[in-house]
Structure 1
Amino acid sequence: MTTWMRCYWDEEDTWFYFEVAPEGWVIRQVELEGPELTPVAAASLAEWQRARDAGHLDEYDSRFGITAELPISEWEGHDPEQLTSKEFEEVWGPARRQIASWAS
């Protein structure tokens, strides 16, 4: 079952929001930095894979970032807060639009 969660890393003052596939791989990820919660990444694994296959990986990475490279079962030192799909989408949509508008 797909799950949604968020974690806070205080060393970077960053909130990480994750949509996680049943196998534990992150399929979408948002990163919000600082007190203003500025979006710095809003990446989709499926889009990343398509960009890689099309030879546009650098462009995608610089625009939207990347998703976590390890499945969550291999993460250490995180204390995730479970979210609903709706809560994740309320962060994903605005972050994605803001990042896309900067690159236009």
Structure 2
Amino acid sequence: MSRWFRSYWDEEDTWFYFEVGDDGWVSRQVELEGPARRPVAAASAGDVDARYGFTAELPVTDWEGHIEMPMTFQEFEEVWRAARHRLMDLEV
């Protein structure tokens, strides 16, 4: 079963949104940068298109120094769709 959470990195003013599987690996990831929350990534583990960015290279169990703020699937999905749409539009 998947779980969803977000985490804020204040050094870069970036919000990270994650969908994580039971194994701890990120299956989908969104990164929103700055006060306008500009999408810079909306990647899934199976993506081969670099325009969407990449998912984390380590399982969440190996991360240090992040605070997980739980989300619902619906909340994550809204952020995912908006970021993915925006990144797609930037390439056109």
> Per the shorter chain, which TM-score range?
over 0.9
Structure holding more strand per residue: 2
TM-score by length of 2: 0.97
> What is the DSSP-based 3-state SS (H/G/I as helix, E as strand, rest coil) of the residue aligned with 1:91?
helix
Give me the identity figure in percent: 58
Q: CA deviation at 1:46?
A: 1.6
What residue is the counterpart of 1:37 in the other structure? 37
What residue is the counterpart of 2:13 in the other structure? 13
Q: 1:38-97 deviations in whole A, cap 9, x for unaligned?
A: 0000001022xxx2xxxxxxxx22x11000000000000000100000000010001000
Distance 1:87 1:65 in 2: 21
What residue is the counterpart of 1:24 in the other structure? 24
How many residues matched? 92
> What is the DSSP-based 3-state SS (H/G/I as helix, E as strand, rest coil) of the residue aligned with 2:46?
helix
Residue 67 of structure 2 is aligned with which of 79, 85, 88?
79
The structure whose Rg is larger is 1
> What is the DSSP-based 3-state SS (H/G/I as helix, E as strand, rest coil) of the residue aligned with 2:88?
helix
What residue is the counterpart of 1:94 in the other structure? 82
Ranges in structure 2 where 5+ consecutive residues have no aligned partner: none
What residue is the counterpart of 1:67 in the other structure? 55
TM-score by length of 1: 0.86
Counterpart amino acid of residue 2 in structure 2: T
- The CA RMSD over aligned residues, in Å, is 0.7
Distance 1:32 1:19 in 2: 15
Distance 2:20 2:87 in 1: 21
Counterpart amino acid of residue 83 in structure 1: M
